[in-house]
Amino acid sequence: MALQSPASEEAKGPWREADQEQQERVGSPEPEPEPEPEPVPVPPPEPQPEPQPEPQPLPDPAPLPELEFEPEPVREPEPTPTVETRGTARGFQPPEGGFGWMVVFAATWCNGSIFGIQNSFGILYSMLLQEEREKNRQVEFQAAWVGALSMGMIFFCSPIVSIFTDRLGCRITATAGAAVAFIGLHTSSFTSSQDTPSKRGVHTLCQRFLAQLRKYFNMRVFRQRTYRIWAFGIAAAALGYFVPYVHLMKYVEEEFLEIKQTWVLLVCIGATSGLGRLVSGRVSDSIPGLKKIYLQVISFLLLGLMSMMIPLCRGFGGLIVVCLFLGLCDGFFITIMAPIAFELVGPMQASQAIGYLLGMMALPMIAGPPIAGLLRNCFGDYHVAFYFAGVPPIVGAVILLFVPLMHQRMFKKEQRDSSKDKMLTPDPDPNGELLPGSPTPEEPI
């Protein structure tokens, strides 16, 4: 076989390499593919903090315009509150614009004038007897009606005044009452007889007036049994309450002829009455509930005993001691009346409750002095009259003793009824409260 030249081998160089590769593929077996490795989970890259921008220098502020400031005023230190400015230093406005003291003074002046005239009627009674004894030998009975009616009308008008107070207020009612009192006192100085032609017209006017006011009366206070007992007891005691004020001066003139300064007895009654009003208010504040009524019981007992001791006094000094106790009992009795009414009927009905009480006291107070004057005409002296005056306060004190007992009994009864109501109430469901929206056990499902 002839040898090939290298030139020819070079000529078929690229194809020769391709043939050799094909022969190698045919002669040698194909290698098996290697298994691919499982990918390893790569944790996510942590977020890199954003680069913060570098702080840039602030621009230079523009120059502010010059402002002109006014100088602040110098504040003076606040004055120390005194007695006059203590109420207004903290913004508190006193009642009546700071003139409350004037209201208190006016009320004191009016009450002192009216009740001072009534309590000193014994002097007027002696003057009436001197002027009218020549015309009528039984003048004691008739002259006693003057003081009894004047004092009784004060109490008789109390229910009507309480209605006006609730409707119009205290100021208008008090001003109108003071005007009527002034006119009555002024015109009575020109009257020389008890009979006046206008009696029938005034009686008719009062009937029409009371008929229109009937609808304003609140009678619910009488539904309470304790109030009824209390009001009846005080009304019974009032039958002899005003007798010493009317007949004491005349009794001293008849029994102690050498004594000329009989007005000292009235001063003693008035002084201790004022003292009793001050002390009783302080004492009643320390006594809780209806136990305050025991102070009235003691006052009425002492008042009745002192009235009975007036005929037993054989000296003027003994009469002074008796009058001191009379005034003290009067102060205690009057002052505790309003707190007891508050305890019995509450603050909303206390005004009319006190008005009704004073109205009930009017009739026995009107009847007491004339009855004592009638006894003086029958027996010839005042001994039986003062014994009679001491009985009604003692009876009233005994009646008042039942008020706390009745109140305690009613309170226990209410507690017993409330406990029965709790026992009769149905027990709750043993399964607990029903779910919202579920029917009640009584309803059919």
The confidence score (pLDDT) of residue 11 equals 47
- Give the pLDDT score at 78: 56
- Distance between CA atoms of residues 12 and 403, nearest Å: 150
For residue 286, the SS3 value is: coil
Give the residue-averaged pLDDT of 413-431.
61
Q: Where are the alpha helices (DSSP H) in 139-292?
A: 139-156, 158-168, 170-188, 199-213, 225-237, 243-255, 263-285
Q: Name which residue leads in pLDDT, 135 or 28.
A: 135
pLDDT digits (tens, 9 = 90+) for 3-12: 444 445 544 4
pLDDT, tens only, 300-330: 999 999 999 999 988 888 889 999 999 899 8
Inter-helix orientation angle 158-168/170-188, to 10°? 140
Confidence of residue 41 (pLDDT cuts 50, 70, 90): low
The lowest-confidence range among 166-170, 235-239, 432-436 is 432-436
Question: What's 291's DSSP letter?
Answer: G
| Confidence category of residue 431, pLDDT binned at 50, 70, 90 | very low
If DSSP codes are grouped into helix, strand and coil, which group holds residue 224?
coil
- The CA distance from 154 to 178, in Å, is 12
Average pLDDT, whole number, for the chain?
A: 73
Take residue 254 and report the two structure tokens written for it: 């008849």
- Mean pLDDT, residues 143-169: 75
- What are the tens digits of pLDDT across the range 335-377? 888 888 888 888 777 777 888 888 888 888 888 888 888 888 8
Residue for token pair 């008090």: 174
Summarised one tens digit per residue, pLDDT across range 285-299 is 888 878 888 999 999
**pTM, entire model:** 0.62
* Per-residue pLDDT, 10: 47
Out of 152-161, 168-177, 200-209, 396-405, the most confident range is: 396-405
**CA-CA distance, 123 to 134, in Å (whole number)?**
19
Helix, coil or strand: residue 127: helix
The answer to whether residue 207 scores a pLDDT higher than 50 is no
User: What pLDDT is recorded for position 198?
Assistant: 39
Q: Which pLDDT band holds residue 210 (cuts at 50, 70, 90)? A: very low
- pLDDT band per the 50, 70, 90 thresholds, residue 196: very low
Q: What are phi and psi of 181, to 5 degrees?
A: -65, -40
Condensed to tens digits (0 to 9), the pLDDT of residues 59-115 reads 656 565 555 555 665 565 555 555 445 444 455 677 667 777 887 888 778 777 777
d(CA 173, CA 165): 6
Cβ-based neighbours of 174, under 8 Å, separated by 6 or more: 107, 110
Categorize the per-residue pLDDT at 52 as very low, low, confident or very high, splitting at 50, 70 and 90: low
Walk me through the domains of the chain, giving residue ranges and CATH numbers. Answer: 100-188+214-416 (1.20.1250.20)
